[in-house]
């Protein structure tokens, strides 16, 4: 199974790249993480948040691989505990489908991105900086996988 993370943003600091890389390489070949970045829409003095979000949304949807099922990371989405995420991950793996997880820009995801998603997942009720979201997401996916294979990484 392939998980594609489509994220708005540009070049990340080295500590983000290192963190994401570390958790990504820990995952088995059967569960590949693929990262796709789309550029942040140009923010000018007359730019409106809705227009920026719309422009970024169009790029996000173009970056979603054909046939992928979509999960939107959205603060208004449903929170999952780590064991619940492990159940979701197991279900995704059993489906035989590939999934794309969408991370919006500073203004969130467009209505079209949210409509394309079959689920909305909230990592936290807190507002997290986008670089940190990438590391938290990669680590939580790794942690969820360890639960599914009874690896001792996760302790309850």
Helix H or strand E encompassing 122: strand 119-122
Which residues are annotated binding-site positions for S-adenosyl-L-methionine? 73, 104, 123-128
Helix 82-95 to helix 130-148 angle (10° resolution) is 70
- CATH hierarchy code of domain 2-148: 3.40.1280.10
Tokens of 22: 């570390």
Kindly report the three-state secondary structure assignment for every residue of 38-95: ECCCCCCCCCCHHHHHHHHHHHHHHHCCCCCEEEEEEEEEEECCHHHHHHHHHHHHHH
Domain boundaries along the sequence of the chain: 2-148
Task: State the pTM of this model.
Answer: 0.93
Residues pairing with 54 in the sheet: none
Which residues are annotated binding-site positions? 73, 104, 123-128
Tokens of 64: 């979603």
- Residue pLDDT tens, the chain, 156 long: 999 999 998 889 999 999 999 999 999 999 999 999 999 988 888 888 889 999 999 999 999 999 999 999 999 999 999 999 999 999 999 999 999 999 999 889 999 999 999 999 999 988 888 899 999 999 999 999 999 999 888 777
């Amino acid at each position: 199974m392939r998980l594609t993370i489509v994220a708005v943003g540009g070049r990340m600091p080295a500590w983000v790249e290192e963190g994401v890389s570390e958790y990504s390489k820990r995952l088995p070949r059967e569960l590949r993480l693929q990262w796709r970045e789309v550029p942040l829409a140009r923010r000018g003095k007359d730019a409106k948040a809705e227009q920026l979000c719309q422009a970024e949304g169009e790029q996000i949807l173009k970056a979603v691989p054909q046939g992928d099922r979509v999960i939107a990371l959205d603060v208004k989405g449903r929170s999952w505990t780590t064991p619940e995420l492990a159940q979701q991950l197991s279900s995704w793996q059993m489906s035989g489908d590939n999934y794309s997880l969408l991370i919006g820009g500073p203004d969130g995801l467009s209505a079209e991105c949210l409509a394309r998603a079959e689920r909305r997942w909230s990592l936290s009720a807190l507002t997290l900086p986008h670089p940190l979201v990438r590391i938290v997401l990669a680590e939580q996916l790794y942690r969820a996988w360890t639960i599914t294979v009874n690896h001792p990484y996760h302790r309850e």
